[in-house]
Structure 1
Amino acid sequence: MRVWVFFVLCLAGKALAAPQQEALPEEEEVIEDVTTESLQETVGTNPVQVEVGEFDETANEEEEEEEPSDNPCLNHHCKHGKVCEVDENNAPICVCQDPSTCPETMGEFEKVCGTDNKTYESSCHFFATKCTLEGTKKGHKLHLDYIGPCKYIAPCLDNEISEFPLRMRDWLKNVLVSLFQRDQDNNLLNEKQKMRVKKIHENEKRLEAGEHSVELLARDFEKNYKMYIFPVHWQFGQLDQHPIDGYLSHTELSPLRAPLIPMEHCTTRFFEECDTDSDNYIALEEWAKCFGIKDEDVDKNMIV
């Protein structure tokens, strides 16, 4: 998953970048005490926003230490937004982190936008704030929406939604080729995956990475359809982690969705429409269909 998130951040800007929307003025970027009703009217609100979980939200809140230690907190782990402290009995407990204790941020790229339309200095500041709101209605509704400062994100129009899978398919192919080229015994791909990607990498008909028109991407998908089947399956397998059950939840989509939203304003609508049966989960068959993969080419063995 770390590899996946790394390439989402590093390659999305080049292969998936859509025209950027103008950022909000600073005074509108941060909104205090925003209510659900007022968000509907706020200029900076993402109009295609949905409630999703945060990264690693399914991680255990606490894990008991495995070996004795002078520091009870040494092997005692807390979920995002909490830190370990020792109680009066010298036992480790997880408590909400004070946002002011978060590491100093280095730049704009560390900021994140919450579903309250508020820009947080970093994910640490966001999770610490969310922790202090646990048990409240506001805390229940607060999630990490996307990476970067809050800004206006235009709705995805009907004539734009069809372009999203074209760029995504090409990007996924390029991500896999990059992993294959950089692997060199780093275990970025398993042996079966390497064999599949090697065929793509060595194919002389492969469209090289670059900023291509949607017309060219559409023609390439039609002519070299088989080259795109595995990348679509691979992405599904990378996201299907908590738990591995053949379905993608909103939480599992978050590591992909959060970095892409600021660059691809059709991201949320695309994922919503992939869920054709509206059960809040995207099955492999639904995922593949969204990317134009034929029913007969859907193979669960490809995501292992």
Structure 2
Amino acid sequence: MRVWIFFVLCLAGRALAAPQQDALPEEEEAIEDVATEEAVVGSNPVQVEVGEFDEAIAEEEEEETTTENPCLNHHCKHGKVCEVDESSKPVCVCQDPSTCPESVGEFEKVCGNDNKTYDSSCHFFATKCTLEGTKKGRKLHLDYIGPCKYIPACMDSELTEFPLSMRDWLKNVLVSLYERDENNNLLNEKQKLRVKKIHENEKRLEAGDHPVELLARDFEKNYNMYIFPVHWQFGQLDQRPIDGYLSRAELSPLRAPLIPMEHCTTRFFEECDLDSDKYIALDEWAKCFGIKDDDVDQDMIV
């Protein structure tokens, strides 16, 4: 778990970004221009910058506010750039992948679900845009951050252990945010009150690498400490739109960084979709993390 937290904290250095809407694996992308206010990345270290793997959210195109350059305030979704047409109006067109900035290191590379390594997220989304309207384009999505590599199959025994470490991680991420807050608005007041109780509990298992037996025993003895962190993360991911369901794109800020390190990540989230509708509801999410039905509370997402 220490590796997880270090990795994500390194990636998320600015302020909180909201995830985006898409479908779970194999869903055709049909989500169009969702207008929301852009948040800043970093207050939630579980997430990395949404812009790196937003493959379906088309930002609302703003009205022209200058006569000098119509594209100055005209925003396009990832993979597209603004150009001025014959009528001097701004339009979004697919970016030529060859015009993307040259990558400067392995950390910029991303892996698509076509098992192809792209030099950067810019190259990936530009390529995806050129395939827009095709079957291949609809199915293509960013799989994880980093070059493509061999991901071993997740065994049943490993899948059983996965939520133990995930629960512990989410709890300690919240505690870390609480300790670092100091008027930085990393958590709102209601969240601070809930995390304060966890932070001050002397029985709390400190962050670190723990054997699964200890994690299981701690979850059983200190079950109430884990209820809010599970709800909190659901609320952090359910943003575009806020509808009580997690799509594949909304899961991306949490899922994409973890796959290269935790090979059960994909299978875990797939099996959370109990009714196989390609969306994860709050009750399905809670059940994945071992939260009892009676403790699932929509009002806890604050």
Shorter-chain TM-score: which interval?
0.7 to 0.9
Q: 1:200-234: CA deviations, max 9, x gaps?
A: 11111111111111111111111111111100000
2:8 matches 1:9: yes
Aligned to 1:87: 85
Equivalent-residue separation in structure 1 for 2:279 and 2:6 (angstroms): 24
Farther-moved stretch of structure 1 (277-286 vs 188-197): 277-286
2:272 matches 1:302: no
Aligned to 1:269: 267
1:121-200 equivalences under 5 Å are 121-200=119-198
1:290 to 288, 291, 299: 288
| Letter of the 1:189 counterpart | L
Offset, 1:248: 1.1
Q: 1:12-64: CA deviations, max 9, x gaps?
A: 9xxxxxxxxxxxxxxxxxxxxxxxxxxxxxxxxxxxx9447784344335513
Aligned to 1:39: none
Aligned to 1:43: none
Gapped regions of structure 2 (runs ≥ 5):
12-23, 30-51
Kindly indicate whether the alpha-carbon contact (under 8 Å) linking 1:169 and 1:228 is maintained by their aligned counterparts in 2. Answer: yes
Offset, 1:8: 7.2
Offset, 1:103: 2.3
1:99 to 81, 97, 120: 97
2:111 to 104, 110, 113: 113
Offset, 1:191: 0.5
Q: 1:71-96: CA deviations, max 9, x gaps?
A: 11111000000011111222111111
Equivalent-residue separation in structure 1 for 2:273 and 2:232 (angstroms): 19
Equivalent-residue separation in structure 1 for 2:247 and 2:53 (angstroms): 12
Aligned to 1:36: none
TM-score (normalised: structure 2): 0.82
Offset, 1:66: 5.4
Equivalent-residue separation in structure 1 for 2:102 and 2:176 (angstroms): 32
Matched position secondary structure for 1:146: strand
Count the aligned residue pairs: 263
| Letter of the 1:104 counterpart | E
Matched position secondary structure for 1:84: strand
Gapped regions of structure 1 (runs ≥ 5):
1-5, 13-48
Q: 1:227-273: CA deviations, max 9, x gaps?
A: 11100000100111121111111221122111111111111111121
Matched position secondary structure for 1:100: helix
Farther-moved stretch of structure 1 (259-268 vs 229-238): 259-268
Aligned to 1:212: 210
| Letter of the 1:141 counterpart | K
TM-score (normalised: structure 1): 0.81
Equivalent-residue separation in structure 1 for 2:272 and 2:60 (angstroms): 35
2:249 matches 1:251: yes
Offset, 1:164: 0.5
Q: 1:125-168: CA deviations, max 9, x gaps?
A: 10011111112222122111111110111111111111110010
Matched position secondary structure for 1:162: helix
Matched position secondary structure for 1:95: strand
1:240 to 211, 235, 238: 238
Matched position secondary structure for 2:93: strand
Equivalent-residue separation in structure 2 for 1:179 and 1:7 (angstroms): 14
Offset, 1:69: 4.1
CA RMSD of aligned residues (A): 2.1
| Letter of the 1:224 counterpart | N
